[in-house]
Structure 1
Amino acid sequence: MHWTDEGVVLGVRKHGETSVILELMTRDHGRHLGLVQGGRSKSLQAVLQPGNTVQATWRARLDEHLGTYQVEGLELRAARLMGSSMALYGLATLAHLLRYFPERDPHFALFETLTVLVDHLDDPDLAPALFVRFELAMLTELGFGLDLARCAATGSERDLAYVSPRSGRAVSAEAGEPYKDRLLRLPGFLIGQTRANRPREEDIRDGFALTDFFLHHNVFAPQGRRAPEERARFVALATAGDE
């Protein structure tokens, strides 16, 4: 059996003297592992860095086997990302989050969101909002998507300001006013209410607070886990202005 696909490198671990086990998030085959023979060579080490996009050909006798990869670099952005602390914490967080998905389970839309994010992960103007959108996309792919299109109480699509922590649905400012202390704030950049290149730090914080709540409630806590420490460090840098 074999296939060829595009994938973002999530991580590698040593295997034997010269090889590595490569973990990719691929476009059509989901999070997928494979053995790269000679993966510890100088030429391949530069390619097999987290954040890079590669073209990978996977081969195995049976589908359930680990299999082997042959890889070729497509977008070698890791060297650039290594110069940014925010990007490094972001890459570590992304790898952690994507491991909540079963291996070999394809998520096409999430892959597209991921590639846009890693392209800009060292950009303090773009990365924070893109990361919030990635976490929302992750929740959707896991079956816990939020409904931010209209007010849960009135059905209105206007003046949305909050999100219900119980239903994950948007609530308008007027309908939510009596209960605002129990609701989560809905940042405007998630519903197209800002045209600024970089949303306000307050809105970015609200965005991360929103995804943090639903990730903890629906993903981390049911498995007895917590958000990775790298996520908190990424959020701190993402909401502190330029590095």
Structure 2
Amino acid sequence: MEWEDEAVVLSVRRHGEHGGIVNLLTRSHGRHAGLVHGAQSKAKSGLVQPGNHVRAWWRGRLAEHLGSLRVEVLHAHAGAVLDDPARLAALSSACALVDMALPERQPHPGAFVALEALLTALAAESWPSVYVHWELALLRDLGFGLDLSACAATGVTEDLGYVSPRTGRAVSRVAGEAWKDKLLILPRFLVEGGEGDDGQIRQGLTLAGVFLERHVLAVHHLAMPAARIRLVDRFRA
């Protein structure tokens, strides 16, 4: 059995003295692992940095086997952000969340396209807003999307300012005033477009984090990735 596909490197785990088990998010084969011989060597360690966009070749005797991987870098996203702690935290957080969230070997082409778009967008000044949108898109791809289209209480579509942590539905500022201490803040850029300032980015990360914790991490008894915690700290007021 063998295949060739585009992929993003999600993680690398040491295997033996020189090898590594590399987890990829592929365009057509979902989240897929394989053994890369010499992954810990100087010659190959740079190829399998999390966040790199690669061409991957997988081969195994049977489809259910771990198999071996060979990779060729198409775009070294990881190297482009090594000197920028905030962007590096975003890249590492995204790769870790996908590695935790997606089931193995089930195609998620939309998730691949979204992750590659995020990694490309890290070069732009608007990357923090793109990152928040990406986390909400990941939740949506997993079947846990938020409904920010109208107020859950009144049906109005304007002046939406909160989200119910129970239902994931938007609530208008007027309808939510009496319960605002129990609601999550909905930053304006998520409903009005444009970019959010640092405070709004933190609100967006807090919003997405509640639902990532509940629907992605808690069910697998996993903790929030350290890189995401560092990312949130970068936008602390």
TM over 0.5: yes
Where in structure 2 are the equivalents of 1:136-147 lying within 5 Å?
A: 136-147=136-147
**C-alpha contact 2:199 2:235 (8 A) present in aligned 1:** no
Does the 8 Å contact 2:101/2:217 carry over to 1?
no
Deviation, 1:144, is 1.6
Q: For residues 63-78 of structure 1, what are the structure 2 equivalents within 5 Å?
A: 63-78=63-78
The CA RMSD over aligned residues, in Å, is 2.1
Corresponding residue for 1:102?
Answer: 103
Superimposed CA distance per residue, residues 133-179 of structure 1 (whole angstroms, 9 cap, x where no aligned partner): 22212222222211111221222222221111111111122222232
Structure 1 residues 224 and 35, CA gap change in structure 2 (3 angstroms):
closer
CA–CA distance in structure 2, aligned partners of residues 226 and 19 of structure 1:
27
Match of 1:89 in 2: 89
Corresponding residue SS for 1:220: helix
CA distance in 2, matches of 1:77, 1:225: 26
SS in 2 for 1:57: strand
User: 5+ unaligned residues in a row in structure 2: which ranges?
Assistant: none
SS of residue paired to 2:66: coil
Query: In structure 1, what is the Cα distance between the partners aligned to 2:159 and 2:51?
Result: 38
Amino acid at match of 2:232: V
1:17 Cα deviation (Å)?
4.0
Matched, 1:50 2:47: no
- 1:8–1:50 contact (8 Å) kept in structure 2: yes
Instruction: Name the stretch that deviates more: 10-19 or 55-64.
Output: 10-19
Q: 1:65 to 1:234 in 2, by over 3 A?
A: same
Provide the TM-score with structure 2 as the length reference. 0.89
> Which residue matches 2:223?
226
Name 2:122's counterpart in structure 1: 121
TM-superposed CA distance for 1:233, in Å, is: 1.0
1:205 alignment partner AA? R
Mapped partners of 1:234, 1:106: distance in 2: 28
Q: Which residue of 2 aligns with 1:182?
A: 182
CA distance in 1, matches of 2:135, 2:173: 24
For residue 207 of structure 1, what is the aligned residue in structure 2?
A: 204
Q: Which portions of structure 1, spanning 4 or more consecutive aligned residues, are displaced by more than 6 angstroms?
A: none
Give, in angstroms, the shift of residue 132 of structure 1. Answer: 1.4
Instruction: For residue 134 of structure 2, give the secondary structure of its aligned residue in structure 1.
Output: helix
Q: CA deviation at 1:33?
A: 0.6
The alpha carbon displacement at 1:54 in A equals 0.3
1:128 deviation in Å?
A: 1.8
**CA–CA distance in 2 between the matches of 1:15 and 1:26?**
21
Counterpart of 1:68 in structure 2: which amino acid? S
Does residue 1:16 correspond to 2:13, yes or no?
Answer: no
Contact map agreement 1:86 1:238 (CA 8 A) in 2: no
**Distance (whole Å) between structure 2 residues aligned to residue 42 and residue 217 of structure 1:** 39
Aligned to 1:62: 62
Query: Residue type matched to 2:45 in 1?
Result: Q
Secondary structure of 1:24's counterpart equals strand
CA contact 1:86–1:121 (8 Å) conserved in 2: no
Letter in 1 for 2:159: D
Amino acid paired to 2:201: I
Residue-by-residue CA offset, 1:109-135 (whole Å, 9 max, x unaligned) = 222221122223365x32222221222
In the alignment, structure 1 segments of 5+ residues that lack a partner are none
Distance 1:181 1:18 in 2: 53
Residues 24-61 of structure 1: CA deviation (Å, up to 9, x unaligned): 11111111111123434444332221111001111112
TM-score, scaled relative to structure 1: 0.87
Structure 2: how far apart are the matches of 1:226 and 1:190?
Answer: 26
| Alignment: residue pair count | 236
